[in-house]
Amino acid sequence: MKAWQIQHRGSLEGLVLADVPRPELGDGQVRVRMRAASVNYRDLIATRIERPGALTPLIPCSDGAGEVVEVGAGVTKWKAGDRVIGCFFQDWDSGRIRREVMRSDLGGPLHGVLAQEVIFRENGLVPIPEHLSFEQASTLPCAALTAWHALVENGRVCAGETVLLLGTGGVSIFALQIAKMHGARVIITSSSDAKLAKARELGADDTINYRTFPDWQVRVHELTNKRGADHVVEVGGWGTLEKSIESVAYGGQVHTIGVLTGFEGKINPWQIIAKSACVCGLYVGSREMFEAMNRAISLHRIEPVIDRVFNFADARAAFARMESGAHFGKLVVRI
């Protein structure tokens, strides 16, 4: 079968379309004919940096959707023809995250989904919400679930609260849709006025261009009558974390998710203490959270925002578009 592989790291030239053996199906496993995959920032990082324990070559991408073609002995949940989405973590069914879970992500230590066929654990799949296409469904496992985990599972966001979102990438645009679903007010930042206009069309209440207003935390306080945001979905890392903490309300939550500006940084704990703020890290989510999110997506008929769909042979261009930062929402590869 055909699969994309990260054959060497450092540049997108190391991402190569290859002929690889069809994976073997074991007991308790499910063979899925992949129809679509979506790209996350972490997949781009995987082309640059070798994570300890990573396979080389590695089939990249955690997020994909397709059709069941065959099930292994003992599988009762699925049959041929079922439309399914893979879970980011193959070993996190429910409950709190555990150390072992962190070794079960697709496109990380395990081969990912940018391939014609993929073998999943029986419990490492969820059904596709009926109103979604394979392409739309492929956007959910990482970006959407992370936003859901932050705002709903941890944050218990509710009507009238203010949610601050940074940039208009995959996680932030899902967080916008989820916050509006819960009746919250959304303030979103971007480097682009055109992207901010699109965010307003999706329901964003207030927008800030972080290039025009580098001190966007000041603007957040102006917009909230000095109260600050109840939730900050913090995807920036060291370059934004301090301003996110300055933006959060007393007793509010900074959902610490991303590293868009890098992995380093020093943080003065005083603001966190003085504001009784909760600065809490999180990593995607469990299958149980994924199922809960999909019930809400089905009920509210949420449509993922897709920037562009690429053909399988052009998958490298999807990574290049993410690298350029030109996208709004999700980048998808049709398989």
Instruction: Tell me if 165 sits within 8 A of 126, measured CB to CB.
Output: no
| Alpha helix stretches (DSSP H) within the chain | 41-48, 134-137, 145-148, 170-181, 193-201, 216-223, 238-247, 270-274, 287-299, 315-324
Shortest Å, Cβ 25 to ligand NAP? 29
Contact between 170 and ligand NAP per CB under 6 A? yes
Output the six-digit token pair for 220. 């957040």
The residue within the footprint of ligand NAP, chosen from 190, 217, 247, 294 (CB under 6 A), is 190
| Alpha helix stretches (DSSP H) within 24-169 | 41-48, 134-137, 145-148
Q: Which of residues 233-262 bind ligand NAP (CB under 6 A)?
A: 235-236, 239-240, 257-261
Contact between 60 and ligand NAP per CB under 6 A? no
The residue within the footprint of ligand NAP, chosen from 31, 35, 42, 180 (CB under 6 A), is 42
The residue within the footprint of ligand NAP, chosen from 210, 290, 312, 319 (CB under 6 A), is 210
- Which range binds ligand NAP by CB under 6 A, 74-82, 128-136, 190-198, 268-276? 190-198
Shortest Å, Cβ 113 to ligand NAP? 15
The residue within the footprint of ligand NAP, chosen from 68, 85, 157, 166 (CB under 6 A), is 166
Contact between 171 and ligand NAP per CB under 6 A? yes
Contact between 141 and ligand NAP per CB under 6 A? no
Query: Cα(197)–Cα(203) distance, rounded to whole angstroms?
Result: 10
For ligand NAP, the closer of residues 261 and 298 by Cβ is 261
CA atoms within 13 A on the CB side of 271: 16
For ligand NAP, the closer of residues 184 and 306 by Cβ is 306
Shortest Å, Cβ 111 to ligand NAP? 19
Shortest Å, Cβ 244 to ligand NAP? 10
> How far are the Cα atoms of 35, 279, 291 from residue 137, in angstroms, in the given order?
10, 30, 13
292 phi/psi in degrees, rounded to 5: -65, -45
| Alpha helix stretches (DSSP H) within 95-251 | 134-137, 145-148, 170-181, 193-201, 216-223, 238-247
- 295 Cβ contact partners less than 8 Å away, ≥ 6 residues apart: none
The residue within the footprint of ligand NAP, chosen from 214, 251, 265, 325 (CB under 6 A), is 325
Contact between 62 and ligand NAP per CB under 6 A? no
Q: At how many degrees (to 10) do helices 315-324 and 41-48 cross?
A: 100
Residues that bind ligand NAP (CB under 6 A): 40-42, 142-143, 146, 166-171, 189-192, 195, 210, 235-236, 239-240, 257-261, 282-284, 322, 325
